[in-house]
């Protein structure tokens, strides 16, 4: 059992939890993930490690409440426990040799982008962070990104905070103003990463993306997280989650990503009903 040390709501649909997991905190690196179960009868879900504290033995996760499991997870309170918390899994983000980087985050993907920006900042790289949200009410981690970024740009669909437009608009403006990046690291919705990669390919800029497909076992055995990268089948849990964005078949990944949407919504509603009955009882 793993204790919830702290819990915080970041916006109406996104929450942060700090979990006591000393063995994982000892080895965790930016870009890696964990797989958890809320209880013994729960499903296994992957969540990227948003932060870790080796001294205190804690791991931070940030999750969006979209399905039954994340709804059940969010019903847990500080001081309570979750059943399983396994990791660190996957390959850490490669940071060697990067002197100047543009880190692009979209929505809850910013939770994955932040530890990468933080590590690169600590290594002495010049970090330009561009983050995108639908509106100001959904913005997360603004203070943290500001701390670890030499430039920080917020883009929103409606212009309610920052600049109105897409992250690709801001990135293109930076590139055309003369900024030269060793690498662009993009993390967020598949459609966002697809168009970031389309843009950077035009300018010949190396681009890494973090893929987060359906996973079950986290060891490559189930095959649920398979992707096509460079014309070859890869598994996000063991070969990634980071890949060369210019080689990822995003259209295939997006098709696979919609397969369980109806089931996810049904599971969410079912969990809501169970939680409501529990409260009423």
pLDDT digits (tens, 9 = 90+) for 56-91: 999 999 999 988 889 999 999 999 999 999 999 999
pLDDT digits (tens, 9 = 90+) for 17-39: 999 999 999 999 999 999 999 99
Low-confidence ranges of the chain (pLDDT < 50): 263-264, 266-268, 279
CA dihedral in degrees (189, 103, 63, 78; nearest 10)? -170
In the chain, alpha helices (H): 22-27, 68-74, 110-122, 142-148, 167-176, 190-203, 236-239, 250-257, 261-280
| Gyration radius of the chain's alpha carbons | 18
Backbone angles phi and psi of 46, in degrees to 5? -90, 140
CATH of domain 94-209: 3.40.50.80
Per-residue HEC secondary structure of 221-259 comes to CCCCCEEEECCEEEEHHHHCCEEECCCECHHHHHHHHCC
Residue carrying the six token digits 């890869």: 234
pTM score, two decimals?
0.86
pLDDT at 280: 52
Kindly list the domain boundaries of the chain, sorted by start residue: 2-89, 94-209
Two domains, one topology: 2-89 and 94-209? no
pLDDT at 101: 98
Q: What distance in Å separates the CA atoms of residue 120 and residue 215, rounded to the nearest whole number?
A: 28
**Record: fold of 2-89:** Elongation Factor Tu (Ef-tu); domain 3 (2.40.30)
pLDDT at 264: 47
| 3-state secondary structure (DSSP) of residue 115 | helix
DSSP 76: -
């Amino acid at each position: 059992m793993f204790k919830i040390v702290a819990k915080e709501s970041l916006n109406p649909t996104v929450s942060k939890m700090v979990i006591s997991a000393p063995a994982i905190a000892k080895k965790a690196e930016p870009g890696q993930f964990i797989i958890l179960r809320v209880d013994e009868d729960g499903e296994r879900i992957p969540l990227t490690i948003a932060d870790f504290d080796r001294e205190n033995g804690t791991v931070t996760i940030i999750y969006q409440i979209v399905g039954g499991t994340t709804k059940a997870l969010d019903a847990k309170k500080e001081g309570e426990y979750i059943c399983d918390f396994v990791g660190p899994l996957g390959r850490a983000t490669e940071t060697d040799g990067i002197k100047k980087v543009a880190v692009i985050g979209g929505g809850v993907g910013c939770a994955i982008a932040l530890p990468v920006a933080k590590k690169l900042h600590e290594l002495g790289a010049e970090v330009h962070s561009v983050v995108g949200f639908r509106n100001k009410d959904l913005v997360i981690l603004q203070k943290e990104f500001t701390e670890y970024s030499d430039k920080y740009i917020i883009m929103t669909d409606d212009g309610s905070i920052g600049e109105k437009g897409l992250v690709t608009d801001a990135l293109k403006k930076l590139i055309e103003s003369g900024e030269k990046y060793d690498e662009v690291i993009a993390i967020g919705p598949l459609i966002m990463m697809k168009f970031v990669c389309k843009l950077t390919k035009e300018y010949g800029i190396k681009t890494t993306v973090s893929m987060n497909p359906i996973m079950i076992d986290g060891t490559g055995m189930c095959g649920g997280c398979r992707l096509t990268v460079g014309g070859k089948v890869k598994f996000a849990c063991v070969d990634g989650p980071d890949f060369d964005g210019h080689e990822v078949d995003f259209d295939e990944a997006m098709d696979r990503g919609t397969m369980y949407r109806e089931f996810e919504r049904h599971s969410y509603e079912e969990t809501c009903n169970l939680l409501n009955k529990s409260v009423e009882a």
